Amino acid sequence: MTHQVYRADNKYLTRIDAESVHLVVTSPPYVTTEFKRGQDFDYDGFLATFAIVCEQLYRVLVPGGRFALNVADIVTKYRHDDEDSIARVPFGPDCLHVALSAGFRYLDRYIWDKGFTRNFGGPLLGSYPYPLSLFNNNYFEYIFVLRKPGKRKVKQEVREESKVSIEEWRLWVQQWWRIESESERVSFHRAIFPVEVPYRLIRMYSYVGDHVLDPYLGTGATMIAAHLCGRASTGFEISTDCQSMIHKRKSLELRPLIDPELTYGYTDEDEWN
């Protein structure tokens, strides 16, 4: 299976052929990921950019293709200009709304429970120790599953090869996925998902040999999962550290004596300018 990484802004999704992708698995930055000191918290600007990304995802997916969107709500004091109070921002539902506006249909949703105990040492947001402004710790995220209208026709032998075992099926159709967060053991990126998240989604929403796309690739978790599932992949990542992050993530996740070697093509955005 081939894997291609574009060290590039995902505005270059325009370069991917229409109807050439079977599944999108991704987790966008939480608006603040690229936040620089003094920069505006441009929430509406982010959603407007995300709308363009969703339009491209809709274009590149085959009819009947799936789009799994992992996203969480955020807490910030920069959302409203008229006061300096902390507010919870419904980033998940807002992103879902943007994706639906691009034409996707809502198929299902899961809650990824990232683990609880670690938050006992987390920040005490709000008015602690006094009442009125208490914010619960972020220990779950949404995984929205959308579909592009239409139906896929797939050979029976490919369906057979892509089967999910009864044990996996029973576990994966639980609405609540308890998968321990891995951010604490990774210093080279602030917001990763465990490979188990894209691994399940790829097994559930694509067939062996399919093409999986992640427009916010980060450390390459989606590519690693696609490799383990026998699917091809393409990823876009804007960070110039992209290759080094992927290299570190590969060494964390893949067992050299058991897993097949993962190689990928690499193109830098600078080559296009």
Instruction: Give me the helix-helix angle, 43-60 and 91-101, nearest 10°.
Output: 40
193 contacts ligand SAM (rule: CB under 6 A): yes
- C-beta separation of 11 from 271 below 8 A: no
**Site residue total, ligand SAM (CB under 6 A):** 18
Q: Pick from 74, 192, 228, 229 the residue near ligand SAM by CB under 6 A.
A: 192
Instruction: Give me the helix-helix angle, 221-228 and 242-253, nearest 10°.
Output: 40
55 vs 138: CA distance, rounded Å: 29
Phi then psi for residue 174, to 5 deg, are: -65, 140
252 contacts ligand SAM (rule: CB under 6 A): no
Closest residue to ligand SAM: CB criterion: 218
34 vs 161, beta carbon nearer ligand SAM: 34
Amino acid occupying residue 71:
V
202 vs 182: CA distance, rounded Å: 19
Q: Which two tokens stand for residue 171?
A: 């576990």
27 contacts ligand SAM (rule: CB under 6 A): yes
- Give the CA angle between residues 199, 152, 23 to the nearest 5°: 30
Binding mask 46-85 for ligand SAM (x = CB under 6 A): ----------------------------------------
Of 239, 158, 244, nearest to 206 by C-alpha is 158
236 contacts ligand SAM (rule: CB under 6 A): yes
Span of 80-88, 99-107, 171-179, 217-225 interacting with ligand SAM by CB under 6 A: 217-225
Q: Pick from 68, 206, 218, 234 the residue near ligand SAM by CB under 6 A.
A: 218
29 contacts ligand SAM (rule: CB under 6 A): yes
Q: Which residues bind ligand SAM (CB under 6 A)?
A: 9-10, 27, 29, 33-34, 189, 191-193, 216, 218-219, 221, 236-239
